[in-house]
Amino acid sequence: MVAAVLGVPAVAAAAPTPSSYDAGIPPGMVEHGVVSSVLTGAPSAWNHRIEYWVSADRWREQTTDARTGELLGGRLHDAGGTTWLQYKPVNGDPRVLHFSGNDSVPGPGLPAPYNRVLAETGVMGGTAKYPIMVTLQPIGPQTIAGFAGTRYEQLSNGQPGQVAVGHGPIPDSHTIVVLQDGTYQPLMTDASAPNGRYGRIDQRETLVSRETTPTAQASVRLTKESFARTVKSWKAKVAKAKANKKKHKK
């Protein structure tokens, strides 16, 4: 997130563990939600709307421009990995990519099983040479999208702020998370740090709405057939965008 924009090697957000890829959704249920993703204080600032559908072992999301509704990208994930539409990249042509293995679960932060460990015991991040114990410090209550939660500051080795592995703490940086009371489901993640001439970089992911339902209407978006239709439509969009680009070059 912020680390990538700042260009530091790695910010101590806790290291990936199996629970960071566990959506925490009961079998037979689908979570449908909308997240506001806003980045300020950087040349690549954005205001995105991310809609997602997540089950115990499959998920999809699509990202649009919050102001115009234009499709920007999307991800589909199952046991075979993630297929990713990069439809409006900052540089280069649009692409449809695929990679195997785990991937971050959609939502306004890390999933509930991971957050529970982070809040109750902390998670060891960093590297063997530069270990960083990441914990959460409660700040106070906060309600988001109708869900009562608790606001926390993320601590790295007991101190507020982010850490660039091998480079030490990033001065005046902060990561704030809001987790739903009792379930540890993410409601908001806000990471910020100084960013030179751009002022202060701030990336905030905030839950707009969320419902968990067993209805077939939500589940149909996660079937193998639905994924295949979506990938086909993505590839058609990419082909059209490339054809238009080639046409304009003539």
Name the one residue in this structure whose structure tokens are 């990561």: 175
Percent helix, strand and coil across the chain, each rounded to 5?
20, 45, 35
Angle value at C-alpha 35, between 34 and 37, nearest 5 degrees: 150
Q: Residue 122's pLDDT is what?
A: 94
How many Å apart are CA 248 and CA 228, to the nearest integer? 31
Check whether 8 has a pLDDT greater than 50.
Answer: no
Is pLDDT above 90 for 88?
no
**pTM of the entire structure?**
0.89
Q: Are 230 and 78 in contact (CB under 8 A)?
A: no
Per-residue pLDDT, averaged over 114-128, amounts to 91
Query: Is the pLDDT confidence value at 220 over 70?
Result: yes
> 112 pLDDT exceeds 80?
yes
> Rounded CA gap, 20 and 110, in Å?
6
Q: Which of 231, 238, 246 shows the shortest CA–CA distance to 95?
A: 238
Residue 213 in tokens: 């339902």
Mean pLDDT of the residues in the chain: 89
Q: How many residues does the chain have?
A: 250
pLDDT at 197: 93
Mean pLDDT of 43-52: 95
Q: Cα–chain-centroid distance for residue 165? A: 21
Cα–Cα distance between 225 and 232 in angstroms, integer? Answer: 11
CA distance 24 to 20: 10
